[in-house]
Copies of this chain bind each other. A is one copy, B any other.
Amino acid sequence: MGKGDETRQTILSQAAQVFSTHGYFGTSLDDLMQATNLTKGGIYNHFGSKEALAVEAFEFGAGQVRERFQALLAGRPRNTRSRLLALVEQFHSLIETPLFAGGCILLNTAVEADDTNPVLRDRARYFADEWRGFITRTLNKGLELGDVRPGIDVEAAATIIIAALEGGIMLSKLYDDPEHIRRTARHLEQYIESLLRPENPT
Contacts and interface: CB of A to CB of B under 8 A. Distances in A.
Interface of A: 21-26, 101-103, 107-108, 110-112, 114-116, 121, 124-125, 128, 153, 155-156, 159-160, 162-168, 170-171, 173-176, 179-180, 183-184, 186-187, 191
Nearest to A184: B163
A107 B22 contact: no
A111 B108 contact: yes
A56 B86 CA distance: 42
Contacts of A175: 125, 128
Contacts of A184: 159-160, 163-164
Contacts of A180: 159, 163
B170 A111 contact: yes
Contacts of A187: 156, 160, 191
Contacts of A159: 168, 171, 179-180, 183-184
Given A156-B183, A159-B168, A173 B111 contact: yes
Contacts of A112: 23, 26, 111-112
Given A23-B25, A111-B107, A186-B156, A162 B167 contact: yes
A125 B102 CA distance: 17
